């Protein structure tokens, strides 16, 4: 490798470091120079003029340091360049102990999770977002996280992993998305457009909470809204959703993007709970109606039944009488409602049948038998199947 190519390689490594850490190229060059024993890049260039050149060993050492600062950008092939561990890869979990407190660290959708016995810490992807600390109610007065020093050490462990994620994201995005120019202009990391191929602006707006954010601020927080935490897909260069009568977007105070706020501590009840909401109750009632059904037609009736649930009045089922016989009692459905401790009532409604000759369902048992019998009936009457 020639002297010129060696210096070029150092500049490339500095560029990778600058992208990962979202810092000016000049600072990254100084970092590389420091790694090689020089005060700054200017001093390195001065020594170069006197005949100094970096050896292959020096280049390898600097490359190793840069890679260690951005490990997720250089993951193994089966880890999809670091993305594999971001979505619950158990083999990527880290297990450790701090001050006698065991913990498991893992990453889920770019958020860092640390979990232990009766507690959980979440460090969101956004650099400015406050850590979330959840402690089970049963341990509220006897949690290892009550020790401020232990909590701080766990937060520092998680922050190291969070910075690795941020480095991977910054390296993947365009440089101008994380490094504003002199006018504070940045380009959106996901949306394209304009002469440059990217949407650029010095002011941005959050669709989710109607906030107004400076280019420096949104870039520092990796394109998450500093107010509500909305993701980059909710950030736009114009508030196109507002009309003249709507309230103007709210400006957000600046954030340097290098530090998080104080932890948000929550006491949670982690016990498994039975949620008897409308979705779950109606699901159980419909399942019971299918138990009540004795042929293909009645199963269609069970699926077509309109089921509603109200905590005060209980379950109300409206049957379609083309498919659910008027005299048929929903025995199993009533039994399920009783087991759930809710009331049960019903009504009948006559509507246009979905398929002609609904009585075919009364003499067929399976869906295939019903379908074949229905198709034969249509064919015998010269009617064609029509796809919509």
Give the CA radius of gyration of the chain: 32
388 within a domain of the structure (yes/no) = no
Q: List, in sequence order, every beta strand (DSSP E) within the chain.
A: 94-98, 101-108, 111-116, 119-123, 132-136, 186-192, 198-201, 203-206, 211-214, 235-236, 250-251, 264-268, 306-310, 314-320, 344-349
| pLDDT averaged over every residue in the chain | 88
Residue 362 Cα to chain centre, angstroms: 48
Sign of CA dihedral 69, 71, 72, 73: positive
Label residue 301 exposed, middle or buried (CB < 10 Å: 0-12, 13-18, 19+). buried
- 176 and 292 co-located in one domain: no
Is the domain of 150 the same as that of 117?
yes
Residues facing residue 103 across a β-bridge: 96
Please indicate, yes or no, whether residues 121 and 14 belong to a single structural domain of this protein: no
215 and 304 together in one domain: no
Dihedral sign computed on CA atoms, order 175, 179, 181, 183: positive
If asked whether residues 267 and 156 sit together in one domain, one would say yes
43 assigned to some structural domain: yes
Q: How far apart are CA 85 and CA 75, in angstroms?
A: 10
Percent of the chain whose pLDDT exceeds 90: 64
- Which residue among 254, 273, 292 closes a domain? 273
pTM > 0.85: yes or no: no
Question: Are 108 and 166 in the same domain?
Answer: yes
Q: In terms of domains, do 182 and 59 share one?
A: no
**pLDDT at residue 83 tops 60:** no
Cα atoms found within 13 Å of the Cα of residue 306, Cβ hemisphere only: 8
> Domain range for residue 320?
278-380
| Whether pLDDT at 276 is above 60 | yes
Stretch 149-171: mean pLDDT = 93
Pair (256, 139) in one structural domain: yes
Residue 80 and residue 59 share a domain: no
Alpha-carbon distance 321 to 325, whole Å? 6
For residues 241-260, b (16+ Cβ closer than 10 Å) or e, as one string?
Answer: eeeeeeeebeebeebebeeb
Q: Give the pLDDT score at 80.
A: 45
Q: Number of C-alpha atoms within 13 angstroms, CB side, residue 192?
A: 1
Q: Is residue 171 part of a domain?
A: yes
pLDDT tens sequence across 161-217: 999 999 999 998 999 999 999 999 999 998 875 555 789 999 999 999 999 999 999
Residue 243 in domain:
yes
Question: What confidence tier does 90 reach under pLDDT thresholds 50, 70, 90?
Answer: low
Cβ neighbours, 10 Å, residue 283: 12
167 and 257: one domain?
Answer: yes
Of the residues 69, 95, 126, which one is the last residue of a structural domain? 69
Does any domain span residue 385? Answer: no
**One domain, residues 120 and 192:** yes
Measured from the Cβ of residue 31, the count of other Cβ atoms closer than 10 Å reads 21
The per-residue pLDDT for 386 is 62
Helix/strand/coil for 214: strand
Domain count, the chain: 3
In a shared domain, residues 18 and 103: no
pLDDT score of 387: 52
Which of 257, 273, 289 delimits the end of a domain? 273
User: What is the pLDDT, as a whole number, of residue 273?
Assistant: 86
Residue 117 lies in a domain: yes
**Mind spelling out the 3-state secondary structure of 82-149?**
CCHHHECCHHHCEEEEECCEEEEEEEECCEEEEEECCEEEEECCCCCCCCEEEEEHHHCCCCHHHCHH
Sheet with 132-136, edge to edge strand ranges: 94-98, 101-108, 111-116, 119-123, 132-136, 264-268
Q: Please tell me the predicted confidence (pLDDT) of residue 75.
A: 52
Using N-to-C axis directions, what is the helix angle for 41-49 and 25-35, rounded to 10°? 60
The reply to whether 120 falls in a domain is yes
Give the Å distances, CA to CA, from 223 to 19, 100, 257, 296, 373.
Answer: 15, 37, 11, 54, 58
Q: Indicate the burial class of 98 (C-beta count within 10 angstroms; 0-12, 13-18, 19 or more).
A: middle
User: How high is the pLDDT of residue 341?
Assistant: 94
Contact 360, 353 (CB under 8 A): no
Beta bridge partners of 94: 105
What the block records as the tokens of 367 is 């869906």
Residue with tokens 């341990």: 139
C-alpha angle 232-170-184 in degrees, rounded to nearest 5: 70
Q: Is 352 contained in some domain?
A: yes
The 10s digit of each residue's pLDDT in 338-351 is 999 999 999 999 88
């Amino acid at each position: 490798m020639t002297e010129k190519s060696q210096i070029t390689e150092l500049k490339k490594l500095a560029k990778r470091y600058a992208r990962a850490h979202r810092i000016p190229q000049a600072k990254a060059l100084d970092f590389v120079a420091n790694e090689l024993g020089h005060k700054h890049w200017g001093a390195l260039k001065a020594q170069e003029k006197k005949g100094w050149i970096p050896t292959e060993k020096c280049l390898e050492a600097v490359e190793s340091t840069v890679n260690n600062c951005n490990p997720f950008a250089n993951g193994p092939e089966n880890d999809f360049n670091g993305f594999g561990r971001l979505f619950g890869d158990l083999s990527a979990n880290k297990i450790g102990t701090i001050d006698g407190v065991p913990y498991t660290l893992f990453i889920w959708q770019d958020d860092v999770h640390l979990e232990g016995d009766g507690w959980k810490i979440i460090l969101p992807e956004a650099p400015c977002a406050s850590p979330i600390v959840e402690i089970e109610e049963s341990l509220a007065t006897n949690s290892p996280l009550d020790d401020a020093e232990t909590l701080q050490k766990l937060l520092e462990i998680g922050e190291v992993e969070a910075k690795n994620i941020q480095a991977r994201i910054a390296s993947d995005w365009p440089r101008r998305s994380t490094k504003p120019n002199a006018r504070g202009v940045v380009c959106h990391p996901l949306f394209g457009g304009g002469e440059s191929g990217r949407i650029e602006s010095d002011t941005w707006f959050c669709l989710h909470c109607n906030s107004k954010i400076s280019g420096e601020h949104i870039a520092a927080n990796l394109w998450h809204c500093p107010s509500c935490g909305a993701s980059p897909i909710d950030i736009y260069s114009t508030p196109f959703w507002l009309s003249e009568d709507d309230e103007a977007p709210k400006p957000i105070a600046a954030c340097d993007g290098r530090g998080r706020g104080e932890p948000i501590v929550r006491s949670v009840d982690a016990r498994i709970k039975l949620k008897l909401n409308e979705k779950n109750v109606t699901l159980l009632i419909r399942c019971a109606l299918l138990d009540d059904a004795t042929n293909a037609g009645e199963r269609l009736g069970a699926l077509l039944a309109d089921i509603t649930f109200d905590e005060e009045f209980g379950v109300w089922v409206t049957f379609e009488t083309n498919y659910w016989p008027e005299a048929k009692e929903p025995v199993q459905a009533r039994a399920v409602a009783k087991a759930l401790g809710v009331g049960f009532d019903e009504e009948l409604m006559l509507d246009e049948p979905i398929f002609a000759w609904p009585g075919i369902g009364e003499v067929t048992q399976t869906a295939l038998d019903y379908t074949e019998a229905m198709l034969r009936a249509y064919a015998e009457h010269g009617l064609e199947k029509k796809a919509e």
